Amino acid sequence: MKRTLIHNAKIINEGACKQGSLVMENGRIAEILTDGRPLSAPCDETIDATGCYLLPGVIDDHVHFRDPGLTHKADILSESRAAAAGGVTSIMDMPNTNPPTVTLEALEQKQALLAEKCVVNYSCYFGATNDNYDLFPQLDKTRVCGIKLFMGSSTGNMLVDRMDSLRRIFGGTDMLIAAHCEDQEIIRRNTEKYKAQFLEGAQVPVNKHPYIRTVQACYASSKLAVQLATEAGARLHVMHISTAKELPLFSDAPLDEHKKITAEACVAHLLFEVKDYKALAACIKCNPAIKRQTDRDALRQAVNTPRIDVIATDHAPHLLTEKTGGALRAASGMPMVQFSLVSMLQLVDEGIFTLETVVEKMCHNPALLFRIEGRGYIREGYHADLVLIRPHSRWQLTQDKILSKCGWSPLEGRSFDWQVEKTFANGHLVYDLRTGVDDTYRGEELRFHA
């Protein structure tokens, strides 16, 4: 039984930074050697981590790996490789694929694909529709991370727009309901307004996107979701909060098993603001839209409180050829999973977050919120999902470094001062800066406390 020692790292865990070492054995964390604790037995391998930080692996609760059916732009293998290279050791995949994951058969197919192709640990959501809520009791709560509810972003047949269906969904399960909240009627009216302002056939400029998918569209839908969840006593997780106006809808109580209504901020909304459309155009077009600097700054401030519970990516690759056509036709979404951690660490260097806060919101809290068994923390007996990062190691993001199948990033050309050196999933080295991703490894299925 191989024992691997990660020696002399700065270990960031549960709000503290301690110099120490760690032993991995049989896929688990066997020993944490801090505060002068000695090694109990010799190790077969030693990794010198001097000058590096050791973090729990990132858990990204919000990715679109496009598999099955949309694999011309991404697939589970390509995007999980990108995740591993970014220090992400667990992902939760979204149901808006082809076919969508809205039947038990499609769910079984998605779970089989993830087991076959995913380099990191995985789970997937079951998608709600107007009429499939009777299937919820048949879902295995230990295997399905939650119910994904599109309340205002039409994706195939997955827009839930009937009030009776919404009430049945919120009242029909004790599973976590992860909601995309934008009011479709407000968006429709704004779309018609901007169509009328431009000559027939002319593109509505992409910088009008936040004036179509407005602050009010987000707020109205999020407010309704919170109201319905409160009435039903449901577990609600509102994804990709993008506005300052939505933040008071959420509690600033610390995350624990009693907090039923929670909020997620995505990396793109923490990085970009409307001025960035000038340089990046549709490359930063996403739903909900990138909004004003005041919204971005309010989100950053909320991350430093319990009001925002987790940071995720909404990793959503498209081909660059699909990112054309202005505000109405360009595909919405961007690939972010490979560079999410280093992007947040840059904000640490800017004094916006602390390293401990980044670990809390990207590692600890997703595990706590989704009730994941044995992950998200550096604790003895937990799965050895770990990432070794080196500060003061400047590099530039060039196209050759991008592992997502779509081959581009809105961050291309940026320089970073942090570098992911090694990523371990279940004690296995899935990524090494020098040798790349181990394509032969397959992650484990996440398990949840029911």
99 preceded by a cis bond (ω within 30 of 0): yes
Q: How far from 92 is each of 24, 75, 392, CA to CA, in Å? A: 25, 14, 31
Angle between helices 163-171 and 215-232 (to 10 degrees): 50
Q: Are 237 and 368 in contact (CB under 8 A)?
A: no
Q: Are 236 and 262 in contact (CB under 8 A)?
A: yes
What's residue 1's pLDDT? 74
User: According to DSSP H, which parts of 29-158 are helical?
Assistant: 76-85, 104-117
Q: How far from 349 is each of 88, 187, 296, 342, 416, CA to CA, in Å? A: 20, 37, 17, 11, 10
What's residue 156's pLDDT? 52
Q: What angle do CA 203, 206, 211 make, to 5 degrees?
A: 105
Residue with token string 């076959």:
116
Q: Are 74 and 44 in contact (CB under 8 A)?
A: no
E strand or H helix that includes residue 138: none
Walk me through the domains of the chain, giving residue ranges and CATH numbers: 3-55+383-400+414-437 (2.30.40.10), 58-370 (3.20.20.140)
What's residue 152's pLDDT? 61
What's residue 53's pLDDT? 98
Name the percent of the chain lying above pLDDT 90. Answer: 94
Q: What angle do CA 266, 270, 272 make, to 5 degrees?
A: 110
Beta-bridge partners for 420 = 389
Query: Which regions in the chain score pLDDT beneath 50?
Result: 154
d(CA 104, CA 101): 8
358 three-class SS = helix
Answer positive or negative: Cα dihedral of 229, 235, 239, 244: positive
Q: Are 406 and 76 in contact (CB under 8 A)?
A: no
**Cut 0.95: pTM above it:** yes
d(CA 211, CA 436): 42
E strand or H helix that includes residue 359: helix 355-359
